[in-house]
Amino acid sequence: MGEFLYIYRGGARAQSPEEGERVMQKWVAWMEELGKKGHMKERGQPLDPSGKVVKGKDKVVTDGPYAESKDLVGGYTLVEAKDLSQAAELAKGCPIFEFGGLVEVRPVMEM
């Protein structure tokens, strides 16, 4: 078994409180299912869209991140799976796909 990071990118925001509640219930149900099957390592958290970017040799700090909304990281989850293929298969249950988002699945390197 290895660790994999799900990075959630893009996806439209809920248009009403009711829709937000419905979406949240889907996320909770999906994550609970991952947990019941022994794949949930760390639930992670959604990320606020604001932030700062530090870059370059001079370590310049700018407001950000300003990427196209489809590329903006909205949150993360740490899961456990036998390999990258299984981790990608498990990601298919994520509710973000209903809203045009994507899940980047990345193996965590052992150090």
Query: CA-to-CA distance for 77 and 106, rounded, in angstroms?
Result: 11
Give the residue-averaged pLDDT of 59-87.
Answer: 86
Residue-wise pLDDT tens digits, 28-54? 999 999 999 999 998 888 888 788 889
Predicted TM-score (pTM) of this structure: 0.85
What percentage of residues in the chain have a pLDDT greater than 70? 95
Architecture of the structural domain at 2-107 = 2-Layer Sandwich (3.30)
pLDDT: which is higher, 51 or 77: 77
Domain ranges in the chain are: 2-107
Place of tokens 């981790």: 87
Q: Give the pLDDT confidence score for residue 13 in this predicted structure.
A: 78
Closest C-alpha among 75, 85, 72, 62 to residue 4: 85
What is the per-residue pLDDT across 3-28, written as a single tens digit (0 to 9) for each? 999 999 988 777 889 988 998 899 99
